[in-house]
Amino acid sequence: MGTFSLISFLGALALFMYGIRQSRQGVQLLAGDRLRAIVAHLTGNRLIGLATGTLVTMILQSSVATTSMLVRFASSGVVTLPQAMGVILGADIGTTLVVVLLSVKRVAESSLLILVAGVFVEILAKGRRGRSLGMVLIGFGLVFFGMQLLISSTIPFRESRFFLDSFQLLSRQPVTSFLAAAAFTALVQNSATALGLTMALSFAGVIGIREAIPIVLGANVGTCVLPLLHSVGAGTAARRVALSHLFLKLAGAAVLMLLVEPLSDLILRAALLYPKIIRHGATQVAFVHVGFNLALALFFFPFIRQGAWVIEKLVPEAASEKERGFRPKYLDPRSLETPALAFANAKREVLRLSEIALGMFQGLIAVFEKDDRELMESIEEEDDKVDLLDREIKFYLAKISQEALTTEQARLQLNLVTITCALEDIGDTINKNILELAAKKISTGRRFSAEGWREIVDLHSLVLENFEMAISVAASEDESIVRKIARHERHLAGRAADCREAHLQRLHKGVRESFETSSIHLDLISNLLRINSKLLEIARAASPLPTHDSGGSESEE
């Protein structure tokens, strides 16, 4: 039978844990950005959110990774609490895949074949995707090979009176087993390791299903610890998501902990009736894990909105969050370790910045038309917000690790900085140039001629249309809108030239208002054109369209 070797046991456990880490890193490199985009965009419908959480977690092999991702999304305002709860229930189902595979003996027996295939793929691969796929296969091979070694190293436990007495003691103290499993899972940051070890002990015949059930439940609750740590200091929304995960797991575990005896008897009777399905202990462990998470989803899914309401009451928004002044809304520092999410946050903040700049531009006509000093001061205050967001967005983008960026992400980083700088320039043009012209007009009590004012209003409306289109490009990356803005720029330059010519004609005719407002009128036209050129710069940076003007051959609209 052999004697127990601590080195063999720890080596097998290390291989198992390293395999999980290796395969997960491979998946992150292979499809991590896509998976995060899926979670961020497919959570609006609760049923779709459930399916999304299941799929993503089956691929990532970790509900901890999915839930931590949701915590960061909630902190950034990407998902709401009910949406996150739907994904969490799906993630709990998805995390059962690896455990089910570990219970299938044929898969475990193929571990070395999977390992060999992974090594060949990684050696022969020429691109990053091929090497990532090889990493995934090597990881899976190590997981299943480590599982076999764990089983072999734990078989001597059956001959050890010390271990048998220890496990019998645990069977009489299920709460201790539950807490120990939760602590171990929190320490290793995934439930697969705790469950794999439990299954190895079951395979070896060291523990039965009665001893295994509290460990399975504790491992499930232990997965909530890391997302809770990620939520610390991340705002109310993030804490609510992390606590909702803990609440779901604890509620289900508390019920089953009261039913360990009847549940284990039921599983043993089922094993007698269906020996081909759940005949050995490892399959029974997998059965409990899968059944627990499916039951959670079936029971809680219809009551997600009510559950979200309870969590919101238990975790009210902090007074400090309500009272804080203007600040960045989406630049969550915890997302910096995940470039795809960090760029999504930065883009949302850039769009927020563009809306503020647009509001400043929209209010200019009223300032000139009504000599509204109060509105002018309000616009000046909005420019302070533009300056703050410009600074914070650039700092945030600079903190994203350069080594982890793909070529596309590096391009996006440069484009977001370009857009932010252009918006800041627009804010400065409005605040330092145009409002200065407005103050001069108000202090001198001058008036534009009716015809001159009409020309200014028309020119402003054309630039405003381009402004709105530039923002839509930043949101949608629609190349056709970029071409349209480019055509509008040429058209607008012609209109500005016509306005200047018309103004000179009025000067020749001796129109008094034109004489009095001549410098204001001409400078205002120049500043509107400057803003419009910045809008084209924004549109080109926001679109995958090449930076040269590709719309020259198209007819003007």
* pLDDT surpassing 80 at residue 255: yes
Structural domain containing residue 377: 333-542
Name the residue type at position 81: L
DSSP codes of every residue in 52-112: HHHHHHHHHT-HHHHHHHHHHHHHTTSS-HHHHHHHHHHHHHHTHHHHHHHH-HHHHHTHH
Both 308 and 339 in one domain: the answer is no
Cα angle at 160 between 158 and 165, to 5 degrees?
90
Both 96 and 130 in one domain: the answer is yes
514-522 mean pLDDT: 79
Domain assignment present for 326: no
Highest-scoring range by mean pLDDT, 31-45, 131-145, 183-197, 436-450: 436-450
Both 279 and 379 in one domain: the answer is no
Both 306 and 408 in one domain: the answer is no
Both 298 and 347 in one domain: the answer is no
Both 359 and 451 in one domain: the answer is yes
Both 346 and 439 in one domain: the answer is yes
Please give the residue that has the higher pLDDT: either 492 or 261. 261
Tens of pLDDT, residue by residue over 31-87, are 555 555 555 555 556 677 777 777 766 666 666 667 766 776 666 566 677 877 887
503-512 mean pLDDT: 78
Domain assignment present for 535: yes
Q: How far apart are CA 289 and CA 303, in angstroms?
A: 22
Domain assignment present for 556: no
Both 377 and 409 in one domain: the answer is yes
Domain assignment present for 44: yes
| Paired tokens of 80 | 């709401």
Tens of pLDDT, residue by residue over 56-68, are 666 666 666 677 6
User: What pLDDT band is residue 106 in, cutting at 50, 70 and 90?
Assistant: low
Which residue, 255, 285, 314, sits at the end of a domain?
Answer: 314
Which residue, 314, 343, 371, sits at the end of a domain?
Answer: 314
Secondary structure of 403-428 as H, E, C letters:
CCCCHHHHHHHHHHHHHHHHHHHHHH
* pLDDT surpassing 90 at residue 424: yes
Both 291 and 440 in one domain: the answer is no
Domain assignment present for 547: no
Please count the structural domains in the chain. Answer: 2
Highest-scoring range by mean pLDDT, 163-177, 297-311, 481-495, 540-554: 297-311
Q: Say if CB 439 and CB 368 are below 8 A apart.
A: no
Query: Per this entry, what is the length of the chain?
Result: 557
Domain assignment present for 553: no
Domain assignment present for 550: no
Q: Say if CB 184 and CB 216 are below 8 A apart.
A: no
325-330 mean pLDDT: 77
Domain assignment present for 1: no
Highest-scoring range by mean pLDDT, 27-31, 354-358, 468-472, 506-510: 354-358
* pLDDT surpassing 60 at residue 552: no
Q: Three-class SS of residue 538?
A: helix
Q: Could you tell me which of 430, 453, 440, 442 has the C-alpha nearest to residue 378?
A: 430
Q: Could you tell me which of 137, 190, 187, 136 has the C-alpha nearest to residue 24?
A: 136
Least confident of 90-94, 260-264, 334-338, 366-370: 334-338
Compute, in degrees rounded to 10, the torsion defined by CA atoms 389, 395, 401, 407: 60
pTM: 0.58
528-550 mean pLDDT: 74
Which residue, 257, 285, 314, sits at the end of a domain?
Answer: 314
Q: Say if CB 79 and CB 119 are below 8 A apart.
A: no
Both 306 and 220 in one domain: the answer is yes
Q: How far apart are CA 508 and CA 473, in angstroms?
A: 43
Both 229 and 143 in one domain: the answer is yes
* pLDDT surpassing 50 at residue 547: no
Both 131 and 38 in one domain: the answer is yes
Q: What average pLDDT does the structure give for the chain?
A: 78
Q: How far apart are CA 210 and CA 177, in angstroms?
A: 11
Q: What pLDDT does 204 receive?
A: 67
The CATH number of whichever domain residue 349 belongs to comes to: 1.20.58.220
Cα angle at 118 between 117 and 119, to 5 degrees?
95
